[in-house]
Structure 1
Amino acid sequence: MRVFVTGASGWIGSAVVPVLIGAGHQVAGLARSDASAATLASAGAEVVRGTLDDLDVLRGAAAASEGVIHLAFKHDIAFSGDFRGAAEADRVSVQAIGEALAGTGRPFVIASGTPAEPGRVATEGDGHGLDPAQAAGPQARAATSEWVLSLASRGVRSSVVRLPRSVHGEGDPGFIAALVRIARDRGVAGYFGDGTNRWPAVHRLDAAHLFHLALEEAPAGSTLHAVADEGVPLRDIAEVLSRRLNLPVAPVSPEDAAEHFAWLAPVLAADQPASSTLTRELMGWQPTLPGLIGDLDKGHYFG
Structure 2
Amino acid sequence: MQVFITGASGWIGTALTKELVTAGHNVVGLARSDSSAEKIIAAGGSVVRGDMSDHDVIVEQAKQADAVAHLAFTLDFSKFGETVENELRLLTKVAAALEGSGKAFFAASGTPMVAGRAAQESDVMDGSGPAGARAATAKAVLALAERGIRSGLVRLPRTVHAEGDHGLIAMLVGFDRQLGVAAYVGDGQNRWPAVHRGDVGPLFRLALEKAPAGSVLHAVAEEGVPMRQVAEVIAAKTGLPATSVDPARMGPFGELVGGDQPASSAATRELLGWEPTGPTLLEDLEAGYYTS
Instruction: Give the TM-score, by structure 2 length.
Output: 0.95
Rounded to whole Å, the distance in 2 between the matches of 1:46 and 1:135 is 38
| 2:180 aligned partner | 187
Q: 1:225 maps to what in 2?
A: 218
- The within-5 A match list for 1:139-158 is 139-158=132-151
1:263 maps to which of 245, 252, 266: 252
2:285 corresponds to 1:282: no
Residues in 2 aligned to 1:188 and 1:70: alpha-carbon distance in whole angstroms: 37
Q: Percent identity at matched positions? A: 52
Indicate conservation of the 8 Å contact 2:84/2:136, yes or no.
no
Consecutive unaligned residues of structure 2, counting only runs of 5 or more, are none
Q: Give secondary structure in 1 for the equivalent of 2:216.
A: strand
8 Å contact kept, 2:113–2:129: no
Find 2:88's aligned residue among 91, 103, 107: 91
Q: SS of the residue aligned with 2:113?
A: coil
Distance 1:104 1:97, change over 3 A: same
Question: Is the 1:98–1:108 Cα contact (8 Å) retained in structure 2?
Answer: no
- Per the alignment, residue 102 of structure 1 pairs with 99
Maintained 8 Å contact 2:105/2:149 = yes
Structure 1 position 111, deviation (Å): 0.4
1:204 to 197, 200, 214: 197
- Corresponding position of 1:20: 20
Over 3 Å counting, the alpha-carbon distance change for 1:282 and 1:302 in structure 2 is same
Q: Mean alpha-carbon deviation: is it higher for 186-195 or for 57-66?
A: 186-195
Inter-partner Cα distance in structure 2 for 1:215 and 1:135: 28
Q: Does 1:50 align with 2:43?
A: no
Kept in 2, the 8 Å contact 1:84–1:136? The answer is: no
Match of 2:4 in 1: 4
Aligned length: 292
- Say which is worse superposed, 236-245 or 35-44, in terms of deviation: 35-44
1:127 aligns with 2:124: yes
| Alignment match, 1:297 | 286
Distance 1:137 1:299 in 2: 26
SS of the residue corresponding to residue 250 of structure 1 reads strand
1:172 aligns with 2:162: no
CA deviation map 1:245-286 (0-9, x unaligned) = 122111113xxx222x23311212321011000000001000
In structure 2, distance between residues paired with 1:25 and 1:252: 48
Give the deviation of 1:98 after TM superposition: 3.4
1:210-269 C-alpha deviation (Å, 9 max, x unpaired):
10110001011100000011011110100000111122111113xxx222x233112123
Q: What is the DSSP-based 3-state SS (H/G/I as helix, E as strand, rest coil) of the residue aligned with 2:268?
A: helix
The residue that corresponds to 1:239 in the other structure is 232
SS in 2 for 1:160: strand
Rounded to whole Å, the distance in 1 between the matches of 2:177 and 2:20 is 37
1:250 aligns with 2:243: yes
Residue 138 of structure 1 deviates from its aligned partner by: 4.6
SS in 2 for 1:29: strand
RMSD: 1.7
**Does 2:107 align with 1:114?**
no
Matched letter for residue 204 of structure 1: R
Question: 1:72 is matched with which residue?
Answer: 72
Gaps of 5+ in 1: none
State the TM-score, normalized to the length of structure 1: 0.92
